[in-house]
Amino acid sequence: MIYELVVGLETHVELSTKSKIFCGCTTAFKGEPNTHCCPICIGLPGTMPRLNEGVVQYAVAAGLALNCKIAEFSKMDRKNYVYPDLPKAYQISQHDKPLCYEGHVLLSNGRKIGIERIHIEEDAGKLIHQGGATFIDYNRGGVPLIEIVSKPDFRDVEEVVEYLELLQLTMRYIEVSDCKMQEGSLRCDVNVSVMPKGSSKFGIRTEIKNMNSFNNIRKAVQYEMNRQIDILESGGAVTQQTMRYMADVGVTEPMRGKEDAHDYRYFKEPDLVNIYVSKEQVECIASKMPELFSSKLNRYVNEYRIPLEDARLLAEYKNVAKFFEDSVKCARSEQSYKNCANLILSVIFSKFNSEEEKEIFNISVSSEEMFKLLSLQEEKKISNNMAKKTLEKMLETGSKVFDIISEADLQGVSEDRLLEICNLALNENEKAAKDYASGKDRAIKSLIGFVMKQTKGRADAALAERILKDIIAERKF
């Protein structure tokens, strides 16, 4: 039988608000254990939570970016369970009235992935096992999270990865989270089931907890899917359970049975008041939202005529996209857009050693200077090669365009001057000209070489070649 994969995701995203969700402590990653704590986030007797308004705003922004509806009224609930990293023995979360609901994400294959809900909650601390003892670090306790719950709409593991990448990009774009999987600011629980292809009845699912890399998600889902198919093929039934992916051996295994039997005894958090988000507040947040990745991508391809792959690279990081757009803001031609894209992707990106540097995009060239450079290139006052070399120098020294390129340099490559030099080249190398005219194509190279030597390499070689060929044809060598 042919089976179809069904996947749903619960994604936890740590919000990058400066302070925690219910107290004033910093949310900074790292820090000595238990130094980002106060009576509230370690749950000392008598303390009370106070909702950080920024968390609601960030979560609403996330909801809007994922096409969700925003609940005018929502509330916080207590999710009761005992674990040493949870100092109050309950997590303040949202149970039946989430802040955002009914959204979706559009994948590149045209499929829509439904978002059931997004709710806000507090993160727990961290257990550190060391030398047979267990220590608790509550620095992470109370860091704000949003949980994004998708519908079971994924039918292929690559869809899962694309969705997560898109989620990551989007959250970074609207600056609500850095979504670093390795630091745990993006974590994922994956619900996996299989059903006969064409069926509309879902199979029994298992939940793989706490996935923290795209690669592991790929492998875990693939493994879990095959495991379930094997069970069904051999006439068995899948057991609904919580699994853990053992990355080192590449298998999934059930977690302790108790995890499934949780009764969280949800009830409304009596220490907090209801959350009301007015239409005006939602509009205000919406009006401050930047253009999102998918819209930029479309624009780059359709408006600027940038090839899709290049457009993706430019739009991926907001700072890169901003530099690109600012630089070509006043440009007139499609060629300038392309030139700009090429210079960024080839020259500027080669200076970066990591994706992080790319994202930060800290360079010593302003978009104004970049525009000047692009204009010279567009007006053919400098060659592509010259543009690259100039940009490299600008990046290294922080100099301005006209500190590097002098008036003389510019004259050296104007079309009139180039014509003069080409004529000179033919006059002084009559043999080469005749060789070319008689069919020895390679002879043109030495002529171009002469021109480049005369212009100290600043001439546009392709243009020089064309001019040389024209003159040879004209003068009938």
Partner 1 sequence: MIFELNKLLKSKKVSAKELAKKYIEAIKREDRRLNSYVYLSEEFALKCAEVVDSKLRNGEDISILEGLPFTLKDNISTEGLPTSCCSKILRGYVPIYDAFVWKILKNENSVLLGKTNMDEFAMGSTCETSCFGGAKNPHNVNYVAGGSSGGVASAVAAGLAVYGLGSDTGGSIRQPASFCGTVGLKPTYGAVSRYGLVAFASSLDQIGPITTTVEDASLVFDEISLRDEQDCTCLGAKEKTFSHIKDNISGIKIGVAKEFLNLADEDVKKSVSLVINAYEKMGAEVEYISLPSCEYALMVYYIVACAEASSNLGRYDGIRYGSRVSSYTNFHDMICKTRSEGFGKEVKRRILLGTYVLSCGYYDAYYKKAHMVRSKIINEFNDAFKCFDVILTPTTPTTAFECGYSAKDPVSNYKADICTVPVNIAGLPAVSVPCGFDCKGLPIGFQIIGQKFHESKILNVANKFEEYTNACYVKKVTGGYPYDI
Indicate which of partner 1, Zn ion, none lies near residue 80 (CB less than 5 to 8 Å, by partner kind): partner 1
Indicate which of Zn ion, partner 1, none lies near residue 371 (CB less than 5 to 8 Å, by partner kind): none
Calpha distance 55→94 (Å, rounded): 13
Q: How far is CA 33 from CA 24, 126, 131, 321, 412, in A?
A: 17, 9, 17, 38, 64
Torsion of Cα atoms, 62 then 67 then 70 then 75, to 10°: -60
Q: Is 8 helix (H, G, I), strand (E, B) or coil?
A: strand
Tokens standing for residue 471:
């003159």
User: What phi and psi, each to the nearest 5 degrees, are found at residue 445?
Assistant: -60, -40
Among 197, 163, 191, residue whose Cα is nearest residue 252 = 191
Binding mask 50-69 for partner 1 (x = CB under 8 A): xx------------------
Quick one: 28 or 273, whose CB is closer to partner 1? 273
Indicate which of Zn ion, partner 1, none lies near residue 41 (CB less than 5 to 8 Å, by partner kind): Zn ion
Choose the binding region for partner 1 from 85-93, 147-155, 172-180, 399-407 (rule: CB under 8 A).
85-93
Mark out the alpha helices in 318-440 (DSSP H runs).
318-328, 334-342, 355-360, 367-378, 384-397, 401-404, 407-411, 415-428, 430-437
235 binds partner 1 (CB under 8 A): no
Q: Which of 26, 54, 67, 80 binds partner 1 (CB under 8 A)?
A: 80
Indicate which of Zn ion, partner 1, none lies near residue 254 (CB less than 5 to 8 Å, by partner kind): none
Q: At what angle do helices 293-302 and 308-316 cross, to 10 degrees?
A: 140
Q: Which of 84, 236, 307, 398 binds partner 1 (CB under 8 A)?
A: 84
Calpha distance 362→366 (Å, rounded): 10
Tokens standing for residue 289:
């939202």
Find the shortest distance in angstroms from Cβ 49 to partner 1. Answer: 8
265 binds partner 1 (CB under 8 A): yes
41 binds Zn ion (CB under 5 A): yes
Indicate which of Zn ion, partner 1, none lies near residue 318 (CB less than 5 to 8 Å, by partner kind): none
Helices and strands (DSSP H and E) totals, the chain:
17, 16
Query: How many other β-carbons are positioned within 10 Å of the β-carbon of residue 334?
Result: 12
Find the shortest distance in angstroms from Cβ 75 to partner 1. Answer: 12
Indicate which of partner 1, Zn ion, none lies near residue 267 (CB less than 5 to 8 Å, by partner kind): partner 1
Quick one: 25 or 422, whose CB is closer to Zn ion? 25
In contact, 232 and 194? CB cutoff 8 Å: yes
Q: Which of 132, 257, 270, 439 binds partner 1 (CB under 8 A)?
A: 270
Binding mask 107-136 for partner 1 (x = CB under 8 A): ---------------------------x-x
263 binds partner 1 (CB under 8 A): yes
44 binds partner 1 (CB under 8 A): yes
Tokens standing for residue 204:
């029994």
Q: Which of 33, 38, 294, 399 binds Zn ion (CB under 5 A)?
A: 38
In contact, 382 and 376? CB cutoff 8 Å: yes
Quick one: 134 or 333, whose CB is closer to partner 1? 134
In contact, 293 and 170? CB cutoff 8 Å: yes
Tokens standing for residue 6:
């069904």
Q: Give residues in contact with Zn ion (CB under 5 A).
A: 23, 25, 38, 40-41
Q: Give residues in contact with partner 1 (CB under 8 A).
A: 39, 42-48, 50-51, 78, 80, 82, 84, 87-90, 134, 136, 263, 265-267, 270-273
